[in-house]
Amino acid sequence: MKFPKLQYLFRLDDICPTMNWDNFFKLQIIFEKYNIKPILGVIPNNQDTQLNIDLPREDFWQIIRDLHQKGWIIAQHGYQHKYVTNKSGIIRLNKYSEFTGLSYNEQFKKIKNGMTILEEKIGERPVWWMAPAHNFDKNTCKVLKKLNFKYITDGIALFPFKKYELYWIPQQIWRPQKKSFGTWTICIHPNSVDNNFIRQLDFFIANNIEFLNRVDLTPKKSVLNLLFTFYWYGKEYFYKFLKNI
């Protein structure tokens, strides 16, 4: 298969029974309007009180099952979404994590418990992984491989790549942005979007639909991945330096 010159994916983080349901349903309407199948980061056993936006819906798992049957991708978003270390890990975006720095056995237990919940609730083992705060380490990857996960929706690159025997689908932006080439995953948090963002999302999808419906996840070896990684992190740290002046 020829690798697409440009493609966009969407991932929705912090999917749990107490999320902002009004925002979630508005996003769902847009994605179904254009027949887009986003990646849903479902927290198996949410214990993060900061995600208690609405009262829990008793039909939460039925909603997730229905979306999964429609082709939406279910990714395991950690286990309890509780940050227990102040370490960043491989991606180095934040300095807090549910997994980074924990032993292999500790991580295995947490990820396996979460996987079991999703399998029981959805009827299928997850093969996609989405770490809370984008933070995980090599032990996490070893556990994911052992438990037969296949994809990680994360990583700073221009194209999908393979590392630690897992397929990484890069995630680099947090709102719709027009690009020229590459694979771009747009990370959306339903709890924090507003109506203006939702209108912008609708407009963006309508004008870029040809880059959304045919997604190729095949890893691509390219020096552009390495160059883009240096550029992205360099720009990120430069902006942080300017803010601290």
Range in 70-74, 131-135, 218-222 the model is least confident about: 218-222
Can you tell me the mean pLDDT for 172-189? 93
Q: Cα dist. 23→2, 19, 166, 210 in Å?
A: 36, 9, 32, 25
How many helices (H) and strands (E) the chain has is answered by: 6, 8
Quote the pLDDT of residue 192: 92
Mean pLDDT for the stretch of residues 214-227: 82
Assign 61 to helix, strand or coil: helix
pLDDT at 157 exceeding the cut of 50: yes
The neighbour count for residue 55, using CB atoms within 10 Å, is 9
Residue 111 lies in a domain: yes
Please indicate, yes or no, if residue 1 is contained in any of the structural domains: no
Tens digits of residue pLDDT in 17-39: 999 999 999 999 999 999 999 99
Contact 48, 69 (CB under 8 A): no
Confidence check: pLDDT of 238 > 70: no
Rounded CA separation 178/10 (Å): 14
Query: Is the pLDDT assigned to residue 113 strictly greater than 80?
Result: yes
User: Are 132 and 89 contacting, i.e. CB atoms less than 8 angstroms apart?
Assistant: no
| Model-wide pTM > 0.95 | no
- pLDDT above 50 (res 80): yes
Average pLDDT of the residues in 146-171? 94
Give the per-residue pLDDT at 223: 84
pLDDT value of residue 242: 44
The token duo for 75 is 């990714």
The pLDDT score that the predictor gives to residue 3 is 52
Confidence band for 237, pLDDT divided at 50, 70 and 90? low
131, 154 contact by CB (below 8 A): yes
Q: Nearest-CA neighbor of 222 among 44, 3, 52, 47? A: 3
Q: Where is pLDDT greater, at 7 or 231? A: 7
The CATH number assigned to the domain holding 174 equals 3.20.20.370
Whether 243 shows a pLDDT value over 50: the answer reads: no
Q: Total structural domains in the chain? A: 1
Percent with pLDDT over 90 in the chain:
75
Residue 190 has pLDDT above 80, yes or no: yes
Does pLDDT of 10 surpass 80? Answer: yes
Taking a C-beta distance cutoff of 8 angstroms, is the pair 7, 184 a contact? Answer: yes
Give the CA count within 13 Å in the CB-facing half-sphere of 127: 10
| Residue, of 126 and 234, whose pLDDT is higher | 126
Residue by residue, DSSP assigns 172-194 as: -BSS----SSEEEEEEE-TTT--
> What pLDDT does residue 240 have?
54
Dihedrals φ, ψ of 105, to 5°? -65, -40
What domain range includes position 193?
6-243
* 15/43 Cα distance (integer angstroms): 6
pLDDT higher than threshold 70 for residue 184: yes
Q: pLDDT-derived band of residue 5, with 50, 70 and 90 as boundaries?
A: confident
